[in-house]
Every structure is written in structure tokens, then in C-alpha cells.
């Protein structure tokens, strides 16, 4: 079969042939006739099977052949879970429809709204969007979806995984009931089937590959490695195999950054791709990776959605996913459009259970190859994996007791807190001299037990230069501070510079040295300061959590006008703009550190970080 047999318009066929395509893929051969017939469609197709052209070509055909449409209105809407996928789908629409009198545009978050609004006002027939930005613009009245004739949900399973299902339902409420709907998904769950049942009317079903299987052309391989040897093994494989292009998957954003830095230091140009990267950084990384300038792209599962690279030869599971469906999505990046590819998994003892679940899910037994010198250390045993509030057991055998799992979680949170402190210290220069507006409380306010705090040497950082003062302030016989009057007056204005404490009042410079007061910190008889663990979601797991978005910005006014905190000693409302790190502590002991508001500078926070705990080990071995 060739594209001429699918009854496509000559203008579309011309564009397809110019792009070098002659024969349709199986999903295209089945989907295009079904869509042209006007049917709703439920298609099970993995990435790399040509599904984008499977819905783009018939949508272009239908829109170009229908007369009487309102000029400039949105007639087709394509929803995708990520920015990268949205951009690539819209590029395909432009390429395939270059000889048609149809226009398209793409909107997604992470970039400015005004250019997108201008393009929408200019009129477009096909809109490709991510749910969040679409709801944002629709809520402001810039997007009218009342004339949509065709709706496409691309990678619906990933939209569900990312927590966009509620946004999708809000978008559906803005669409007319009389429309043609197409749903594409690599895997099917009960939630996806429920969504399809509520959206599609008598749909045609297409299943290109058997459920929950991977592409046969992908050569899969397992390397059992030591827990601490993974980066060495990865660099070894890339160098020894002369890999020119490899996509590496990690479980967390921190892991992606860490691996990319290691590879770059060892002569392998690499960049990280995850949700914390700006849109410009993500676009640059993808462009360099596609051009071959970048040898390794290290990505999280969410950020990698939408990466469409022809003939990508290698995919590496640096960390094994705990969800088998994620493995299917990952290795689907290679072996596309008839090309061969290799998927390598670096499995330590902590992840052997995950790997066995993947084999059971895909109904395959993946070959195992031993790399001499890189295996587990003698006596190494499986340990729990901490991710946010979850502590996962990925080893073989029965999970350890609750005390072991909790100890692993505490240790992981302590590690994370230490990284946060290190990052703040490394970025300290940017915060020096940037203290915020503090209160006008006296600089040496009496402590709760009546004793005066003994002032210590201050630092000056108005120009970002932290120089220790030679004339440390002293306390006179009457308790009044002695020293340079000009400096005292300047501090009294509440500038909260680097010398005024770690946080500079309410908007302080983070890089300031913490103020060390030698006075009494609390009233006698109070319990000693407790140490708290990190109670919020681990940042490393944020890629896997639904976004708590406010697409219509209903809380914007409240955020902008919320009180910033206490002033002149008065009790204020909690600041909604504070980070989760600021909100870690609980109860009366939440802030036991130096938080005096004198002269505009709050001091450093108190003792943070949960108690330690040894990691007991539970064993298991990767065997056949």
C-alpha cells in the first residue's frame, strides 16, 4: 500500500512525498481511512509508529474539503501533555499542510503569552496546545473553542499520568458536543477507557501492537551493576561503543543534573532535560541533540515526552522506573519508523524487583550481560529507594520492616536537605546586599529572660563584597551598643543587607552569612530545639506529581495582596509565596533559629533536617 491508496488530496500527497515518505505505517494505514470516514477513533499506538501523521493527514484533508467555515476560527484542536510534543505536532501540521490554505499555531506554558495571543487573533484553523496554557488563555477570553470540529487527544495516557485529566475535562466542557474525537494512547488503563467511554461515540478501535508490548526491533539488554558504579558504566559504554547519540533516563531531576555533569567532566558532552529547565534551555538541548552536537541527553520521564528523533540508536535506563508502562515509553524513543535501536538498562540490586515486574508486564525475558569490574561490591545488598514521601522497595524478596523503610526515608531527606544547603551556599553571592524591608525593632532587643543579646561582629555587603568589620560592636556598661554611629544609623533604616542575617527580613539575600548571636535564645525551662525532617514532597519526585496549577489565575489577587509577615512585632498572616523549605517546621518549635527582625534582617533558620538512621540491608540477587 502507498499513500495514493488512502484517497488523500494531491496537495497533501505532494508534501508527503517531499518529506521522503512513500508507504504508510500500519497505524497510518488503519487510522487515515477511519478518520476520513468521520468516525471517532480509539487508537493504541506507541511513540515512533507514525501516529502523528496518522491523525494530521486526515484532519488536514477534512478541513480543506469542507466549505462554509467561519474565517479565522479554530476548527481543530490537538491536546498534548508536553511543550516539546506540542511544538513537534504543530511542525508536522505545517509541513504536511504547506500547500493548503490552512493555518496553524501552537501554545504552551513556559514562554510569554503575548506572541501566542497575537497569532490566535490573526486567526488559525488548527490549534495545538497543552491543557494548562489553553485554559489560561480561554479563561482570559483570547481563545474561542465553540467552532471546533475535530478534537485530538495525543498521548492520553501520559496526560493522565501527569495529572492533567481534570484540565482535559475542563477543556472538553468548552467544546461543542457535535465534533469528531480522536484519542491516541500507548497504553490503556481503566482510567483511559473511562475517559474514552465518556468522550467517544461508537469509536473505531485500532491496536497497532499487542497490548503492553515493546517494539520488536529494539534490542534490549540488562547490565547488573554496583549501586555506586552506574556513572562509570554509562561513560564506559558510551566511550567503548563510540555512541554518538544516546538518550539517558533518570528517575529524578537531581539525578539528571548529576549524570549530565559527570559525563561532561569525562569528555562526553551532555545536557540535562527536565521540568526545572527554562523553555529556551530545553529547546536548545533538543536542537543540539538532534544535530549531533550533543552526544548524551539526560532526561526525566515527563520531560522526554515529545522527543521525536529519527533513527535514535541508543536509550539507557540509568535508573529503572517503578512503573512498567514508563519502561515502554522510554525505550519507544528508539527503533522508530522501521529503524533498529538498542535499549540498555543499568540495574543495581535495589531495582531488580522493578526489572522483573517489567519483564512480566512486557511478556519478555531480557538478556543479561555481565560487565567485568563493574558489578555489585562484595556483600552489597538491596536497599529501599526513597522518593518524596514514598519509600519504595525495588529489590527482590520480601520488603524489610517499617523501621528500615523509615530510616531510609530519613537518610534520603537529610541528603536532600544537605544538597539544598550546599546549593544556597554556592548561590550566595547573588543574594548579598539584597536584604528586604525589615521591621524597625531595636537592634538589641531584650531576650525573653531579660538579658540583652551581645552583638557580634557585623559584615558589610552593600556591593556584594563581604568584608569582615575590624571594629566589632561592643556593649557598654549601660548595655547600650558602642561603635560606629554612621553604620548603626544606616542599619537602623532596615536595609537588611548581607550583614543583617541570612534572609534579610522578608525578602532577604540568601547569600548572607548567618548571624551568630551569643545571647540567650529562649526562656529557661523551655524544651531544647528539636530537629525536624523534611515533611514536604521531595523535589526529586516533582516530575511524577500532578501540578497544582491555577489556570484561570483565580488566586492571583490574593497572592499579590497577601500580608508579607509581621511588622513592628505584630502577628501577620502566613506568606503564601514562601517555599516549602520555609514551611517545613511544625508547631511551636517550627522556627528555633535566629529570626530577630532587628534592622530589617532576619537571621538564619534553626536546626533543620531529620535525624539520621542506619540503612539496614535486605538481600537478593539478579538471577534467571
Q: What is the pLDDT of residues 298-318, one digit of tens each?
A: 988 877 765 667 678 899 999
Q: For residue 212, is pLDDT > 90?
A: no
pLDDT of residue 49: 76
Distance between CA 135 and CA 174 in Å, rounded? 10
Residues 468-526 pLDDT 10s: 333 334 444 444 444 444 444 444 444 444 444 444 444 444 444 444 444 444 444 44
Exposed e or buried b per residue across 370-404, where buried means at least 16 C-beta atoms within 10 angstroms of its C-beta: ebeebbbeeebbbbbbbbbeebbbbbbeebbeeeb
> What integer best gives the mean pLDDT of the chain?
71
pLDDT of residue 172: 92
Residues 372-400 pLDDT 10s: 888 777 777 767 666 655 556 555 555 55
Q: For residue 94, is pLDDT > 90?
A: yes
Q: For residue 136, is pLDDT > 90?
A: yes
pLDDT of residue 390: 59
User: Contacts from 286-295 at CB under 8 Å and sequence distance 24+?
Assistant: 286/84, 289/245, 289/247, 292/244, 292/245, 293/269, 294/269, 294/270, 295/238, 295/243, 295/244, 295/245, 295/246, 295/263, 295/268, 295/269, 295/270
| Region(s) of the chain under CATH 3.40.50.300 | 3-207, 218-380
Q: Which runs of consecutive H residues, i.e. helices, occur in 208-323?
A: 230-240, 253-265, 279-291, 301-304
DSSP 551-564: TT-TTHHHHHHS--
Exposed e or buried b per residue across 537-560, where buried means at least 16 C-beta atoms within 10 angstroms of its C-beta: ebbbbbbbeeeebebeeeeeeeee
Q: For residue 529, is pLDDT > 70?
A: no
Higher-confidence residue of 450 and 281: namely: 281
Q: For residue 454, is pLDDT > 80?
A: no
180-185 β-sheet, strand order = 104-107, 126-129, 76-79, 150-153, 180-185, 41-44, 204-207
Q: For residue 431, is pLDDT > 80?
A: no
Residues 257-310 pLDDT 10s: 999 999 999 999 999 988 788 878 888 888 889 888 899 999 888 777 656 676
Distance between CA 290 and CA 302 in Å, rounded? 19
DSSP 147-172: T--EEEE-SHHHHHHTT-HHHHHHHH
| Those residues with Cβ within 8 angstroms of residue 489's Cβ, 6 or more apart along the chain or in another chain | none
Distance between CA 242 and CA 232 in Å, rounded? 15
pLDDT of residue 384: 64
Distance between CA 102 and CA 361 in Å, rounded? 43
φ/ψ (deg, to 5) at 580: -65, -25
What's the pTM? 0.50
pLDDT of residue 359: 86
| Those residues with Cβ within 8 angstroms of residue 535's Cβ, 6 or more apart along the chain or in another chain | 584, 586
pLDDT of residue 83: 86
pLDDT of residue 403: 65
Distance between CA 60 and CA 103 in Å, rounded? 10
Distance between CA 365 and CA 372 in Å, rounded? 22
In CATH, 3-207 is 3.40.50.12280? no
Exposed e or buried b per residue across 111-131, where buried means at least 16 C-beta atoms within 10 angstroms of its C-beta: eeeeebeebbeeebbbbbbbb
DSSP 63-111: HHH---PPTT---EEEE-SSHHHHHHHHHHHHHHTTTSS--EEEE-SSS
Which range, 67-71, 422-426, 524-528, 572-576, is most confident? 67-71
User: Hey, which residues does 180 pair with through a beta bridge?
Assistant: 150
Of the candidate CATH numbers 3.40.50.620, 3.40.50.300, 1.10.10.1100, 3.40.1350.10, the domain formed by 218-380 belongs to 3.40.50.300
pLDDT of residue 297: 93
Burial of 276 from C-beta contacts in 10 A (0-12 / 13-18 / 19+): middle
CA distances from 540 to 258, 259, 390 (A): 12, 14, 11
Amino acid at each position: 500500500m502507498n499513500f495514493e491508496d488512502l484517497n488523500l488530496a494531491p496537495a497533501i500527497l505532494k508534501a508527503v512525498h517531499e518529506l521522503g515518505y512513500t508507504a504508510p505505517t500500519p497505524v497510518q494505514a488503519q487510522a487515515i481511512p477511519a478518520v476520513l470516514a468521520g468516525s471517532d477513533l480509539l487508537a493504541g499506538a506507541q511513540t515512533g509508529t507514525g501516529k502523528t501523521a496518522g491523525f494530521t493527514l486526515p484532519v488536514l484533508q477534512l478541513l480543506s474539503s469542507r466549505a462554509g467555515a467561519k474565517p479565522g476560527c479554530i476548527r481543530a484542536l490537538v491536546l498534548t501533555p508536553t511543550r516539546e510534543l506540542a511544538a513537534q505536532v504543530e511542525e508536522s501540521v505545517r509541513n504536511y499542510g504547506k500547500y493548503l490554505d490552512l493555518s496553524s499555531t501552537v501554545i504552551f506554558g513556559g514562554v510569554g503569552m503575548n506572541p501566542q495571543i497575537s497569532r490566535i487573533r490573526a486567526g488559525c484553523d488548527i490549534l495545538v496546545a497543552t491543557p494548562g496554557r489553553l485554559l489560561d488563555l480561554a479563561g482570559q477570553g483570547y481563545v474561542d473553542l465553540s467552532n471546533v470540529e475535530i478534537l485530538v487527544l495525543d498521548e492520553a495516557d501520559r496526560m493522565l499520568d501527569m495529572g492533567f485529566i481534570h484540565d482535559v475535562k475542563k477543556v472538553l466542557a468548552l467544546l461543542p458536543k457535535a465534533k469528531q474525537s480522536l484519542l491516541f494512547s500507548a497504553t490503556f488503563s481503566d482510567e483511559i477507557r473511562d475517559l474514552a467511554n465518556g468522550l467517544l461515540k461508537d469509536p473505531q478501535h485500532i491496536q497497532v501492537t499487542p497490548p503492553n508490548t515493546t517494539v520488536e526491533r529494539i534490542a534490549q539488554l540488562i547490565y547488573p551493576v554496583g549501586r555506586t558504579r552506574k556513572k562509570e558504566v554509562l561513560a564506559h559504554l558510551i566511550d567503548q561503543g563510540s555512541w554518538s547519540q544516546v538518550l539517558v533516563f533518570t528517575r529524578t531531576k537531581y539525578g539528571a543534573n548529576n549524570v549530565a555533569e559527570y559525563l561532561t567532566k569525562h569528555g562526553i558532552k551532555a545536557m540535562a532535560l527536565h521540568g526545572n529547565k527554562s523553555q529556551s534551555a530545553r529547546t536548545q538541548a533538543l536542537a543540539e541533540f538532534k544535530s549531533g552536537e550533543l552526544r548524551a541527553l539526560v532526561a526525566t520521564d515527563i520531560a522526554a515526552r515529545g522527543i521525536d528523533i529519527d533513527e535514535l540508536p541508543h536509550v539507557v535506563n540509568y535508573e529503572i522506573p517503578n512503573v512498567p508502562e514508563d519502561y515502554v515509553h522510554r525505550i519507544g524513543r528508539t527503533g522508530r519508523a522501521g529503524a533498529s535501536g538498542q535499549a540498555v538498562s543499568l540495574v543495581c540490586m535495589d531495582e531488580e524487583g522493578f526489572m522483573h515486574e517489567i519483564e512480566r508486564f512486557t511478556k519478555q525475558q531480557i538478556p543479561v550481560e555481565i560487565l567485568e569490574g563493574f558489578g555489585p561490591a562484595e556483600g552489597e545488598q538491596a536497599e529501599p529507594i526513597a522518593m518524596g514521601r514514598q519509600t519504595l522497595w525495588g529489590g527482590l524478596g520480601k520488603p524489610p520492616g517499617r523501621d528500615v523503610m523509615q530510616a531510609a526515608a530519613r537518610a534520603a531527606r537529610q541528603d536532600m536537605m544537605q544538597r539544598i544547603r550546599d546549593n544556597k551556599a554556592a548561590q550566595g553571592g547573588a543574594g548579598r546586599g539584597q536584604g528586604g524591608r525589615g521591621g524597625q525593632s531595636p537592634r538589641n532587643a531584650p531576650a525573653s529572660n531579660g538579658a540583652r543579646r551581645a552583638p557580634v561582629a557585623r559584615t558589610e555587603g552593600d556591593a556584594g563584597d563581604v568584608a569582615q568589620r575590624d571594629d566589632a560592636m561592643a556593649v557598654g556598661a549601660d548595655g547600650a551598643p558602642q561603635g560606629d554611629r554612621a553604620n548603626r544609623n544606616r542599619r537602623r533604616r532596615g536595609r537588611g543587607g548581607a550583614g543583617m542575617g541570612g534572609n534579610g527580613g522578608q525578602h532577604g539575600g540568601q547569600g548572607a552569612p548567618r548571624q551568630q548571636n551569643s545571647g540567650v535564645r529562649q526562656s529557661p525551662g523551655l524544651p531544647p530545639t528539636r530537629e525536624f525532617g523534611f515533611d514536604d514532597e521531595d523535589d526529586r519526585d516533582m516530575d511524577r506529581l500532578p501540578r497544582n496549577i491555577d489556570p484561570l489565575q483565580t488566586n492571583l489577587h490574593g497572592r499579590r495582596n497577601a500580608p508579607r509577615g509581621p511588622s513592628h512585632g505584630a502577628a501577620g498572616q502566613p506568606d503564601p509565596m514562601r517555599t516549602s523549605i520555609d514551611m517545613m517546621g511544625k508547631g511551636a518549635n517550627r522556627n528555633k533559629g535566629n529570626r530577630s527582625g532587628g534592622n530589617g534582617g532576619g537571621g538564619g533558620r534553626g536546626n533543620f533536617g531529620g535525624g539520621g538512621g542506619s540503612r539496614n540491608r535486605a538481600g537478593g540477587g539478579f538471577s534467571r
